[in-house]
Homo-oligomer: A and B are copies of this chain.
Amino acid sequence: MSRPRTPEPALDMQGDAPRATRNEDDADRTQHSHRMLNFSDALLSIIATVMILPVTHTEISPEQQFDKNIQKLLATRIAVYLMTFLIVTVAWAAHTRLFQVVGKIDDTLALLNLACMMTITFLPFTFSLMVTFPEVPLGILLFCLCVITIGAVQIARSTHRALCRRHVLYIVLRGPALCFAAAGFSLFFYPASYLLMATVIFLPYVNKAASWCRQRLVGPQEPPAHSVEVFTFDLQEPLSKERVEAFSDGVYAIVATLLILDICEHNVPDSKEVKERFHGSLLLALSETGPRFLAYFGSFATVGLLWFAHHSLFLHVRKATQSMGLLNTLSLAFVGGLPLAYQQTSALARQPRDELESVRISCAIIFFASVFQLAMWTAALLHGPDTLQPSARFGGEEHAFMLAKLALYPCASLLAFACTCFLSRFSAAIFHLTQVAVPFIFLLLRLLVRLALRVLRALPGLARPAPYPQDAAERAPLLPAPC
Q: How far is the CA of A401 from the CA of B456 in the complex (A)?
A: 67
Query: For the complex, is A121 an interface residue (Cβ under 8 Å from B)?
Result: yes
Q: How far is the CA of A157 from the CA of B138 in the complex (A)?
A: 56
- Residues of chain B contacted by A42 (CB below 8 angstroms): 42, 249-250, 253
**A446 CB → nearest B CB, Å:** 7
Q: How far is the CA of A245 from the CA of B38 in the complex (A)?
A: 10
Query: For the complex, is A78 an interface residue (Cβ under 8 Å from B)?
Result: no
Q: How far is the CA of A270 from the CA of B39 in the complex (A)?
A: 34
Known interface pairs A39-B307, A107-B483, A311-B39; A21-B57 also in contact (CB < 8 Å): no
Whether A439 and B111, one on each chain, are in contact in the complex, defined by CB atoms closer than 8 angstroms, is yes
- Residues of chain B contacted by A67 (CB below 8 angstroms): none
Q: Which of A15-63 contact B (CB under 8 A)?
A: 16-17, 19-21, 24-25, 27-32, 34-36, 38-39, 42-43, 46-47, 50-51, 53-54, 57
Q: Which of A172-205 contact B (CB under 8 A)?
A: none
- Residues of chain B contacted by A265 (CB below 8 angstroms): 50, 53-54, 57
| Candidates B106, B264, B267, B271; contact of A483 at CB < 8 Å | B106
- Residues of chain B contacted by A128 (CB below 8 angstroms): 264, 268
Q: Which of A225-258 contact B (CB under 8 A)?
A: 245-246, 249-250, 252-254, 256-257
- Residues of chain B contacted by A308 (CB below 8 angstroms): 107, 110-111, 114
- Residues of chain B contacted by A391 (CB below 8 angstroms): 21, 24
Q: How far is the CA of A42 from the CA of B249 in the complex (A)?
A: 8
- Residues of chain B contacted by A245 (CB below 8 angstroms): 35
**A335 CB → nearest B CB, Å:** 14
Q: Which of A104-143 contact B (CB under 8 A)?
A: 104-108, 110-111, 114, 117-118, 121-122, 124-125, 128-129, 132-133, 136, 138-139
- Residues of chain B contacted by A118 (CB below 8 angstroms): 297, 300-301, 304
- Residues of chain B contacted by A107 (CB below 8 angstroms): 308, 312, 442, 445-446, 483
- Residues of chain B contacted by A38 (CB below 8 angstroms): 1, 38, 246, 249
- Residues of chain B contacted by A314 (CB below 8 angstroms): 35
Query: For the complex, is A69 an interface residue (Cβ under 8 Å from B)?
Result: no
Residue of B nearest to A442 (CB): B111
Whether A111 and B50, one on each chain, are in contact in the complex, defined by CB atoms closer than 8 angstroms, is no
Which bracket fits the contact residues of A? 35 or more
Query: For the complex, is A209 an interface residue (Cβ under 8 Å from B)?
Result: no
Chain A interface helix/strand/loop/mixed: helix
**A15 CB → nearest B CB, Å:** 9
- Residues of chain B contacted by A43 (CB below 8 angstroms): 253, 256-257
- Residues of chain B contacted by A315 (CB below 8 angstroms): 28, 31-32
Interface-located stretch among A320-328, A339-347, A349-357, A472-480: A472-480
Query: For the complex, is A224 an interface residue (Cβ under 8 Å from B)?
Result: no
Query: For the complex, is A382 an interface residue (Cβ under 8 Å from B)?
Result: no
Residue of B nearest to A112 (CB): B443
Query: For the complex, is A389 an interface residue (Cβ under 8 Å from B)?
Result: yes
Query: For the complex, is A261 an interface residue (Cβ under 8 Å from B)?
Result: yes
Q: Which of A74-116 contact B (CB under 8 A)?
A: 104-108, 110-111, 114
Q: How far is the CA of A439 from the CA of B112 in the complex (A)?
A: 11
Whether A138 and B282, one on each chain, are in contact in the complex, defined by CB atoms closer than 8 angstroms, is yes
Query: For the complex, is A390 an interface residue (Cβ under 8 Å from B)?
Result: yes
Whether A264 and B125, one on each chain, are in contact in the complex, defined by CB atoms closer than 8 angstroms, is yes
Query: For the complex, is A415 an interface residue (Cβ under 8 Å from B)?
Result: no
Query: For the complex, is A263 an interface residue (Cβ under 8 Å from B)?
Result: yes
Most buried by B among A28, A245, A443, A446: A28
- Residues of chain B contacted by A2 (CB below 8 angstroms): 27, 30-31, 34
- Residues of chain B contacted by A110 (CB below 8 angstroms): 308, 311
Query: For the complex, is A164 an interface residue (Cβ under 8 Å from B)?
Result: no
Query: For the complex, is A9 an interface residue (Cβ under 8 Å from B)?
Result: no
- Residues of chain B contacted by A46 (CB below 8 angstroms): 253-254, 257, 261
Query: For the complex, is A379 an interface residue (Cβ under 8 Å from B)?
Result: no
28 example contacts (A-B, Cβ-Cβ < 8 A) are as follows A1-B4, A1-B35, A2-B34, A16-B480, A17-B479, A19-B479, A21-B390, A28-B482, A36-B311, A38-B249, A46-B253, A46-B257, A50-B265, A51-B264, A53-B265, A54-B264, A104-B482, A110-B311, A111-B443, A114-B308, A118-B301, A124-B264, A125-B263, A125-B267, A129-B282, A132-B268, A133-B274, A138-B283
Given contacts A24-B391, A32-B311, 20 further A-B contacts (CB under 8 A): A1-B31, A21-B390, A25-B482, A28-B389, A32-B482, A46-B254, A53-B261, A106-B482, A106-B483, A107-B312, A107-B445, A107-B446, A107-B483, A110-B311, A111-B442, A124-B264, A125-B268, A128-B264, A133-B274, A138-B283
